Structure 1
Amino acid sequence: MEPREESVMRAFRESAPDEAGLVARTWVNHLAWTLVVVLAGLVFWLVVAVVNAENQRHALANKECRDQVFKEEIDRTCLLSVRSREHWWQHLWYAMKHTSPQK
């Protein structure tokens, strides 16, 4: 091989990517994405719980689930299926704006 070709080949070898490190995997990304997915699931679960609690609180405040026989009691089956506002995001919006109990 000529010296000129040898210098070109040497330059090519030095600029080629390290194939051994191309497929190496780190667990840092897996840990970070797992943490993101778990936290997103937790936020989703908390939003569902807050919406459900605010729905029931609003139904109780407006006395939408009174028992038909005993007027001072609560109809628990109604409380499980009541829709006291039109949309779920209205419950969430109210719950986020009113974080302390009403006086």
Structure 2
Amino acid sequence: MKNREEDVMEAFRQSSPDEAGLYDRPWINHLAWTLVVLLTGLVFWMAIAIVNAENQRNALANKQCRDRVFKEEIDKTCMLTVQSREHWWEHLAYAMWHTKPQK
């Protein structure tokens, strides 16, 4: 009986994973998470840039920042502070759905 138990325990020990070599390369995990963080930051940065560009494009299209003295010129200080739509997500949604220029 004892020999049979030893055989079962030996088979159990051999089937368990080798935990010594399980964490040999921790830098791979760090590299993956670093890439995830960097790419997420890049996506947020691009979204902010798209929102700002669409805000200014819509203000120019609707002629919200005309210069008061010279009607054909653009007021550059107005372009820095204009809000051509009510919320930022409206700019983002418009820019994401309208990828081709209007005719």
TM-score, length-scaled by structure 1: 0.79
In the alignment, the residues of structure 1 paired with residue 52 and residue 20 of structure 2 have an alpha-carbon distance, to the nearest angstrom, of 53
How big is each residue's C-alpha offset from its partner over 1:36-67, in whole Å with a ceiling of 9 and x where there is no partner? 00000000000000000000000000000000
CA RMSD of aligned residues (A): 2.4
Aligned to 2:68: 68
Q: Does residue 32 in structure 1 map to residue 15 in structure 2?
A: no
Structure 1 runs (4+) deviating above 3 angstroms are 16-25
The amino acid of 2:58's aligned partner reads H
Q: Does residue 86 in structure 1 map to residue 86 in structure 2?
A: yes
Aligned to 2:98: 98
Q: Secondary structure at the match of 1:83?
A: coil
> Shift of residue 23 of structure 1?
6.7
In the alignment, the residues of structure 1 paired with residue 69 and residue 27 of structure 2 have an alpha-carbon distance, to the nearest angstrom, of 62
> Shift of residue 82 of structure 1?
0.2
The amino acid of 2:42's aligned partner reads L
In the alignment, the residues of structure 2 paired with residue 71 and residue 78 of structure 1 have an alpha-carbon distance, to the nearest angstrom, of 14
The amino acid of 1:56's aligned partner reads Q
Q: Secondary structure at the match of 2:69?
A: coil
In the alignment, the residues of structure 2 paired with residue 100 and residue 18 of structure 1 have an alpha-carbon distance, to the nearest angstrom, of 56
In the alignment, the residues of structure 1 paired with residue 22 and residue 100 of structure 2 have an alpha-carbon distance, to the nearest angstrom, of 54
> Shift of residue 100 of structure 1?
0.7
Q: Secondary structure at the match of 2:67?
A: coil
> Shift of residue 26 of structure 1?
1.3
In the alignment, the residues of structure 2 paired with residue 18 and residue 94 of structure 1 have an alpha-carbon distance, to the nearest angstrom, of 54
